[in-house]
Amino acid sequence: MSEPLDVPPADPAEFLDQAERSLLELSIQANRADWIYCTFITPDTEELTSLAAARLMTAATDLAKRSSALRGRTRSPVDARKLELLRRSFTLIAPSGAGEAEELSRLSSAMQALYARGRYQPRGSPAPLDVQGLSRILETSRDPASLEEAWSGWHAIARPMRSDFTRYVELANRGARELDYPDLGALWRAKYDMPADDFAREAGRLWDQVRPLYRSLHAYVRRRLGARYGPELVPDTGPIPAFLLGNMWAQSWAGIYPLLAPDTEGPSWDLGAVLRERKTTPQELVRYGERFFLSLGFEPLPATFWERSMFVRPPGRDVVCHASAWDIDYADDLRLKMCLEISEEDFFVVHHELGHNFYQRAYARQPFLFRESAHDGFHEAIGDTIALSVTPEYLTAIGLLDATSGPTDDIPYLLRRALAKLAFLPFGLVVDEWRWRVFSGDVGPERYNRTWWEMRTERQGIAPPPGRSEADFDPGAKFHVASGTPYMRYFLAHILEFQFHRALVRAAGSSGPLHRATIHGSRAAGERLRSMLELGSRREWPDALEAATGERRMDAAALLEYFAPLQRWLDHENQGAPVGW
C-alpha cells in the first residue's frame, strides 16, 4: 500500500505524481469498503469502512499540508492547479493528534449508521417504518395528526446523533485549521475558485434573483393549504407548518400537488401508473436513463454496471437507500445505489444519477486530481439538466405517453416543476448556511435546533410542529448532515441546470419555450455537453461553464425564463392575498 510522503520532493511534478498514485490507491480501497458498508450495514462493515476512510483522510491531509510548501514553485499551470486542488479537494481533514483521524472517521460512520437504521412505528402501522415508508405517509395522507406523527417520528431518530455531531465539529475544525483555514465551513467555501467570503456573497446574489418568484409560490401554496386545513393550522400571513408540505424536509412540495392543482387543470397523467401497468422492472427503468444518454452520442454503460449496482433494497439487511452514483476505481467501475421504486419520481432520479456516472466516465482520462467536476454544483447540475429534458415530448417519443394523454396546459406542468425545483432553493441554502455558522462557532450546541428553525423560517417561510427544543437535533434527520456531505452543491445545481438546459436546447436547434424543449436525440447538444464533461476539474469552473453555455457567470436568468409563464399566473392568483410571512 502506498504511504504518505515523508518529505515532499523538491520537484513539484515528482511530488504530484507520487501523491496522485498514493491517493488513487487509497481512494479505491475506501470506495470498495464504503460500497460494502452502504449495501450491507453491520458492525464489521462499519469498522472496515471507518478504517479505510481514516487511512485516506490521513494521507490526504498529510499531502495537502506538504503541498503548501510547493505552492508558487512551479511554472506549470497544470501543476499549480493540481497543488491548489490537493489543498482543498477533500471535505474532511484529519487532525494530527494521536488517534483523532480514527475517531473522526468513526464518528462519521456512526452518524450514517444511526440514520440508516432509523425507524418509527406510527399508530396503526403493523411494523416500524424507515424514512421511505414515513415519507410516503407525508406525501399521501391528508390527516394532519398522521402527518405530524410521521414527521416527528422520523426526526426523533436524530436525537442520539447530537453528541457525535458536536465532537465531529470540534475535530473537523481542528483539521481544517491545520491547513490554515479558520474552520471547516471556510474550507468548503474555498472550493469554488474564489475567496470563501466572496462565494458566500455569490450564493446570496443568486438567491436574491429567485426570491421574488419563491415568495409568489409560497403565497399560493399557503392560501390553498389554508383553504384545506383552516387558518388555525395554516395562518393567512405566517409560515407554513413543515409537516403539511408532502416531504420529510419540506425541500420539495411536489407530493401535495393534488391539493394545489389549478382549478382549471385539464386531463391528468401519471407516469408511475404507466410504468407499473407495463410491468416495468427496476433494471428496465434504469435502461430508460441509459438510452437517453445513448441518444446524445455517449457510449453504453459497462457490463459491470449492471452486474454490481444495487437497484432495489436487498431483503433481510440494512442498507443506505439514499440514491447515489459511484465511481469505484475512477476508470470504468461505475455503479448506481438506490432502493428503486417504479414511480415517476424514481424515473427522474435515475436520469439524474446516471448524469453523475456519465460525467465520471467522461473525465476518467484526466490525471487523478482532475477526475472531478468543475465544482461540486456542476456534478449535481448535469443530472438535473437531463431530468429537465424529461418532458411530455420526450415521453411521447419513447412511447410512454401518446400525443393525446400528456398535459395540454403549461401551468399545471410548470407548477409541478416549481414545487420540486423552486421550493428546494431556500432549503438548499439553509443546510450549509446553518453548518457554516456551527463550524465558525457562531452557533454552539446549546442553540443547534433553535437556530436551525429560525433560519428555515426566515429563508423558507416554514415552521416545525409545536414543542421542538434542544432535546431534538432536527438537522441530523437530513442524510447530508448525518454523512457530512456539503449541500451547497444542490443549491448551485438548481440554478445551473436551467442555465445548461437553455444552452443545450438552443444547440439542439429548439426555439420554443424552455419548459417544453428536450435535448433527447440531439448529437449537437451531446457534443456541447461532452466538451464540458471531459474537462473534469482541469480548468476553473468559469471555463467549464463557458464551454457549455458561452457564459462565465452563474446566473438565474434562465430559471426565471423557464418559469416566466408560471410567474405571471401566480401574480394573478395572488391578487389581494398576503405575500411573505
Question: How much of the chain exceeds pLDDT 90, in percent?
Answer: 84
Q: Which amino acid is at 230?
A: G
Q: Tell me whether residue 264 is in a domain.
A: no
Q: What is the pLDDT of residues 536-574, one digit of tens each?
A: 999 999 999 999 999 999 999 999 999 999 999 999 999
Q: Tell me whether residue 74 is in a domain.
A: yes
Q: If you count them, how many residues does the chain have?
A: 581
Quote the cell numbers at residue 471. 432535546
- Give the per-residue pLDDT at 2: 45
- Give the per-residue pLDDT at 64: 87
Q: Tell me whether residue 72 is in a domain.
A: yes
* Secondary structure of 341-391 as H, E, C letters: CCCHHHHHHHHHHHHHHHHHHHCCCCCHHHCCCCCHHHHHHHHHHHHHCCC
When pLDDT is cut at 50, 70 and 90, the band that residue 88 belongs to is confident
Q: Which residue has the higher pLDDT, 93 or 150?
A: 150
Q: What is the pLDDT of residues 253-288, one digit of tens each?
A: 999 999 999 987 655 678 899 999 999 999 999 999
**Contact (CB, 8 A) for 376 and 191:** yes
For the question of residue 149 being annotated catalytic, the response is: no
Tell me which residue range forms the domain holding 83. Answer: 1-90
Which residue in 20, 148, 149, 353 is the catalytic one? 353
Rounded Cα gap, residues 218 and 222, in angstroms: 6
- Give the per-residue pLDDT at 461: 98
When pLDDT is cut at 50, 70 and 90, the band that residue 511 belongs to is confident
Q: What is the pLDDT of residues 146-165, one digit of tens each?
A: 999 999 999 999 999 999 99
Question: How much of the chain exceeds pLDDT 70, in percent?
Answer: 96
- Report the relative pairing of strands 324-327 and 334-337 from DSSP bridges: antiparallel
Predicted confidence (pLDDT) at residue 405 exceeds the cutoff of 60: no
Instruction: Give the total number of structural domains in the chain.
Output: 1
Q: Tell me whether residue 234 is in a domain.
A: no
What are the residues whose beta carbons fall under 8 Å from the beta carbon of 135, sequence distance 6 or more? 150, 154, 247, 248
- Give the per-residue pLDDT at 268: 62
Q: What is the mean pLDDT of the chain?
A: 93
> pTM of the entire structure?
0.90
When pLDDT is cut at 50, 70 and 90, the band that residue 202 belongs to is very high
Q: Which amino acid is at 288?
A: Y
Predicted confidence (pLDDT) at residue 112 exceeds the cutoff of 70: yes
From start to end of 136-274, where are the E strands?
Answer: 240-241
Predicted confidence (pLDDT) at residue 356 exceeds the cutoff of 80: yes
Residue 174 parent element (H or E)? helix 162-177
Could you count the other beta carbons within 10 Å of the beta carbon of residue 215?
16
When pLDDT is cut at 50, 70 and 90, the band that residue 90 belongs to is confident
Q: Which residue has the higher pLDDT, 110 or 75?
A: 110
- Give the per-residue pLDDT at 499: 98
When pLDDT is cut at 50, 70 and 90, the band that residue 29 belongs to is very high
Q: Which amino acid is at 264?
A: T
Residue 485, helix vs strand vs coil = coil
Task: Report the pLDDT averaged over residues 49-56.
Answer: 91
Which residue in 356, 480, 501, 520 is the catalytic one? 480
For the question of residue 102 being annotated catalytic, the response is: no
- Give the per-residue pLDDT at 481: 97
Q: Tell me whether residue 60 is in a domain.
A: yes
Task: Report the pLDDT averaged over residues 469-492.
Answer: 96
Predicted confidence (pLDDT) at residue 326 exceeds the cutoff of 90: yes
Predicted confidence (pLDDT) at residue 290 exceeds the cutoff of 50: yes
Predicted confidence (pLDDT) at residue 22 exceeds the cutoff of 50: yes
Q: Tell me whether residue 67 is in a domain.
A: yes
Q: Tell me whether residue 438 is in a domain.
A: no
Q: Of 315-329, 386-400, 401-415, 516-530, where does mean pLDDT reach its minimum?
A: 401-415
- Give the per-residue pLDDT at 1: 42
Closest CA to 48 of 60, 38, 58: 38
Q: Give the CA angle between residues 359, 363, 365 to the nearest 5°.
A: 150
Q: Tell me whether residue 119 is in a domain.
A: no
Rounded Cα gap, residues 486 and 188, in angstroms: 7
- Give the per-residue pLDDT at 266: 59
- Give the per-residue pLDDT at 562: 97
